[in-house]
């Protein structure tokens, strides 16, 4: 299959994969959800399994999505924050390290909420600007992002900063933060910033209002996911394709921008349950009129997994199927020269409320795809398939370049 005048569509439901759940009769949320469009793809396409988080690497959307794009994380992964910096237009210098800066809620020295109640972007930006005015200096500066997701850029001993063990906040919910503070004899600036933020934010007006409204306050920052700038081979050089990336989060748009794809901003895309699913599908279809590749990412199933919210996860999966997979399938179901890939990046099991590195299910549909006639799309069905990728980054190579699959 040549790439000339073809269309390649990748649809990612972040964290959609899960484990069997007793209250669902041993089914996963994907099995319990009504997903007629993904089931159609499975019945007429090819279902398989792939592992996108290499052994020994932290299972995160950063590593996993980089692999989905076709880049070996063991070779190219620089840390999470540099990708977000790229999308925010921050040009990291050689003596700078970027850190992801979550606004979090601390209760009795335990991390109670990794997202400060999914604080609004407007509130969060005011808080980050406030922190920058109080803690920013020649060495440290803060940059506001979306909702609870922000950046801190720190100059100095880059080796010491990169060596810090920084726990993702969604992995330590309910844990005593003292155990996870990133301390170092070489450089204690990171822990110092986190501790100072707690002092400053305890009396911030926005947090007083949030507490009055019975919402979780943003009473501390949590720094993690650090890394330096990196230059990646361009997607057009690897695959001969121009394309676009559609996501609410800076991480995914930043990966896209780093490899030369165009990030598209969809109004109402929030990175949460209320995201604009229909808008993402519409922007994808519009982009495909001019460019042959599009990557659509939806964060909602992952957020539901982190929250341990079964009903929300099933709803997010059904919304993804109905409002994103459905319209795209309707448009291209019988169109020659089109391939569609649908998959999660990693599991975010409700029972664990965090990511795992387990292989995930995927389905490819379209030109040159020999169906293995699966009954539907689920983790268990994919587990029975012999179409497998131990190195998940190799899936994109096959999806784009293989004449037959």
What confidence tens digit (pLDDT) does each residue in 313-324 have?
Answer: 999 999 999 999
- 256 and 213 within one domain: no
Instruction: Please report the pLDDT score of residue 1 as a whole number.
Output: 46
How, if at all, do strands 149-155 and 96-107 pair? antiparallel
Based on the domain organization, do 244 and 283 belong to the same domain? yes
Q: Judge if 138 and 222 occupy the same domain.
A: yes
**Average pLDDT in the 2-23 region?**
90
Out of 227, 249, 268, a domain closes at: 227
- pLDDT-derived band at 107 (thresholds 50, 70, 90) equals very high
Residue 314 belongs to a domain: yes
Structure tokens at 43: 């019945």
Distance CA 128, CA 150 (A): 8
- Model confidence over 138-170: pLDDT tens digits? 999 999 999 999 999 999 899 999 999 999 999
Q: What is the pLDDT of residue 195?
A: 96
User: How many Å apart are CA 247 and CA 265, to the nearest integer?
Assistant: 7
Rounded Cα distance, 104 and 114, in Å: 5
Q: Which ranges of 16-57 does DSSP label H, i.e. alpha helix?
A: 29-32, 36-44
Residues 221 and 260 in one domain: no
165 and 108, same structural domain? yes
pLDDT in tens, 261-305: 999 999 999 999 999 999 999 999 999 999 999 999 999 999 999
The total number of structural domains in the chain stands at 2
- The mean predicted confidence, pLDDT, of the chain is 96
Domain boundary among 175, 194, 227: 227
User: Looking at the domain assignment, is residue 1 inside a domain?
Assistant: no
CA distance 143 to 98: 10
Section 181-205 average pLDDT: 90
pLDDT class of 2 with cuts at 50, 70, 90: very low
Task: Report the 10 Å Cβ neighbour count for 158.
Answer: 17
Question: For residue 230, what pLDDT is reported?
Answer: 87
Residue 200: enclosing H or E segment and its boundaries?
helix 189-201
* pLDDT tens digits, 109-144: 999 999 999 999 999 999 999 999 999 999 999 999
Q: Are residues 387 and 256 in the same domain?
A: yes
pLDDT of residue 184: 79
Residue 97 is classified by DSSP as: E
The one-character DSSP state at 172 is: S
Mean pLDDT within 336-353: 98
**Which domain CATH number covers 74?**
3.40.720.10
The three-point CA angle 65-391-387 to 5° equals 105
The percent of residues above 70 in pLDDT, for the chain, comes to 99
Reference 258, options 242, 234, 228, 227; nearest CA is: 234
Closest CA to 32 of 380, 399, 331: 380
């Amino acid at each position: 299959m040549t790439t000339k005048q073809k269309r390649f569509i990748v649809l990612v439901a972040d964290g959609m994969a899960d484990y069997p759940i007793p209250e669902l009769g041993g089914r996963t949320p994907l099995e319990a959800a009504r997903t007629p469009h993904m089931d159609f793809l499975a019945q007429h396409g090819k279902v398989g399994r792939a592992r996108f988080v290499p052994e020994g690497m932290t299972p995160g959307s950063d590593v996993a999505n980089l692999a989905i794009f076709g880049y070996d994380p063991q070779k190219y992964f620089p840390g999470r924050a540099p990708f977000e910096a790229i999308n925010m237009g921050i040009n990291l210098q050689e003596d700078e390290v970027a850190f992801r800066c979550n606004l979090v809620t601390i209760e009795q020295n335990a991390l109670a909420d990794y997202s400060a109640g999914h604080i609004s972007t407007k509130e969060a930006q005011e808080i980050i600007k406030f922190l920058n005015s109080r803690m920013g200096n020649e060495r440290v500066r803060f940059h506001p992002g979306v909702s609870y997701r922000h950046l801190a850029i720190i100059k100095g001993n880059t080796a010491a900063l990169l060596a810090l063990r920084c726990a993702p906040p969604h992995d330590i919910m309910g844990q005593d933060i003292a155990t996870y503070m990133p301390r170092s004899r070489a450089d204690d600036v990171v822990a110092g910033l986190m501790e100072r933020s707690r002092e400053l934010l305890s009396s911030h007006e926005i947090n007083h209002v949030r507490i009055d409204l019975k919402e979780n306050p943003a009473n501390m920052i949590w720094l993690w996911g650090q890394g330096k700038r990196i230059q990646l081979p361009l997607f057009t050089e690897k695959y001969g394709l121009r394309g676009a990336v559609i996501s609410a989060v800076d991480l995914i748009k930043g990966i896209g921008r780093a490899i030369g794809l165009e990030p598209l901003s969809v109004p109402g895309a929030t990175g949460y349950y209320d995201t604009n699913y229909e808008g993402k599908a519409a922007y994808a279809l519009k982009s495909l009129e001019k460019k042959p590749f599009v990557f659509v990412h939806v964060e909602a199933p992952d957020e539901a997994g982190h929250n341990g919210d079964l009903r929300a996860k099933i709803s997010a999966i059904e919304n993804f199927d109905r409002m994103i997979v459905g319209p795209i399938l309707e448009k291209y179901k019988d169109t020659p020269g089109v391939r569609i890939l649908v998959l999660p990046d990693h599991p975010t099991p409700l029972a664990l409320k965090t990511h795992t590195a387990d292989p995930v299910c995927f389905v490819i549909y379209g030109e040159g795809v020999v169906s293995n006639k699966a009954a539907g799309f689920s983790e268990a069905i994919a587990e029975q398939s012999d179409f497998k990728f131990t190195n998940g980054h190799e899936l994109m190579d096959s999806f784009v370049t293989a004449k037959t699959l």
